[in-house]
Amino acid sequence: MSAGSPRRRRPIATAALVTVGLVLMGGLYAAASSLASPARAGTNEASPELISQGAQLYKEGCASCHGLNLEGVPADSTNKANPKVNGPTLIGVGAAAVDFQVSTGRMPVGAYGKQVVAGRSSYTEEETSALAAYVASFAPGPAIPSKEDLDTTDASLAEGGELFRTNCSQCHNFAAQGGALSDGTFAPSIDPSQPNHIWEAMLTGPQNMPVFNDTTVNPDEKRAIIKYIASIKAESNPGGAPLGRVGPVSEGLLLWTLGLGALIACSVWLGAKAK
Ligand code: HEC
Ligand code: HEC
């Protein structure tokens, strides 16, 4: 009877496998949704604790260049050796500007050459939101985008491409690879940029970049541009998945089958005629 038992075990094993699979999927889903919810809540309503944490971090890391009350440091007051390091006022720049500058590692300024460059951020995500909350508590300004703001599902890729070519490519190049500007400055490559940073850069216009507020480029158009930049990223990755190429493949398959079918039909017909 030993030959029968492994056979009988099989359905049980299958059932066990399915159960394990279902449990795993459930667990993954729960983990994913619990990961997603704090991000949704982490927008611009800040608790007093977060603001006071931000105040402390600001005093230690930013006040020397931006002033104790965010008023900025006039270019000709202190730091005569390098007046450029004197920071502008941060009143009204909004949480978006702080989030962009700090999480892309531009602030606090380390070495200052022709322009402040991106790098590794010296603050955690929580510290960054504390700093943003503190600065935003002084005066309203552009907000950090929410998940809904960045949802590009319904955005038009074609419109995004057109908007990108008219508004962004003169500085960032047609393939978003960046380019030189005048006086030794440059526009960086934005191909690796995260959607939230693209949104924030448009809203706040860092350094030589113009501001694209919601009247110049409305939120739908911003989403279209973000979708387009993401598509450039997907295209320039030769080893990556051929996203959205399912259509041509199935069309090709159809033509191939029809064409072969026609050829076979022709040869059968010719063969019949020859007889
Ligand atoms: C060594 C001086 C220095 C320090 C320290 C510094 N900044 Fe700045 N910051 C600058 C300068 C200079 C600029 C202007 C850059 C430019 O536009 O060329 C700037 C610009 C900014 C802007 C953009 C303002 C705008 O109008 O969009 C923000 C936001 C900002 N800083 C936040 C911070 C925060 C937050 C900290 C602390 C974590 C910080 N900075 C630390 C010098 C500094
Ligand atoms: C006049 C030139 C100019 C135009 C036009 C321009 N940018 Fe920029 N952009 C810049 C410069 C300069 C920087 C770097 C600023 C800095 O380092 O603080 C920049 C930075 C950025 C960044 C941040 C990249 C990083 O390294 O983190 C993004 C994203 C971005 N731009 C997107 C756009 C988009 C999208 C458009 C079109 C809607 C656009 N830019 C139009 C000059 C421009």
Instruction: Using the structure block, give the residue that is written with the tokens 């057109």.
Output: 162
Q: Is the CB of 133 under 6 A from ligand 1?
A: no
- Pair 79, 86: CB distance under 8 Å: yes
pLDDT on residue 35: 44
Radius of gyration of the CA atoms of the chain, in A: 28
Distance CA 32, CA 240 (A): 24
Residues of the chain with pLDDT below 70 are 1-44, 75-85, 112, 236-254
- Pair 119, 106: CB distance under 8 Å: yes
How many whole angstroms from 32 Cα to the centroid of ligand 1? Answer: 35
Q: Is the CB of 73 under 6 A from ligand 1?
A: no
pLDDT on residue 49: 94
Distance CA 70, CA 135 (A): 8
State the Cα torsion 76-80-85-90 to the nearest 10°. -30
Q: Is the CB of 77 under 6 A from ligand 1?
A: no
Cβ neighbors of 32 (< 8 A, separation 6 or more) are none
For a substitution probing ligand 1, which of 71, 109, 112 has the most ligand atoms within 8 Å of its CB?
109
How many whole angstroms from 152 Cα to the centroid of ligand 2? Answer: 20
pLDDT on residue 245: 37
244: left (phi over 0), alpha (psi -120 to 50) or beta: left
For a substitution probing ligand 2, which of 159, 191, 209 has the most ligand atoms within 8 Å of its CB?
209
For a substitution probing ligand 1, which of 101, 138, 207, 211 has the most ligand atoms within 8 Å of its CB?
101
pLDDT on residue 230: 94
pLDDT on residue 110: 78
Cβ neighbors of 166 (< 8 A, separation 6 or more) are none
Give the other-Cβ count within 10 Å of 139's Cβ: 13
How many whole angstroms from 115 Cα to the centroid of ligand 1? Answer: 11
Instruction: Using the structure block, give the residue that is written with the tokens 């390098």.
Output: 82
How many whole angstroms from 216 Cα to the centroid of ligand 1? Answer: 25
**Closest residue to atom 36 of ligand 2, CA basis:** 168
Give the other-Cβ count within 10 Å of 37's Cβ: 10
pLDDT on residue 86: 81
**Closest residue to atom 14 of ligand 2, CA basis:** 187
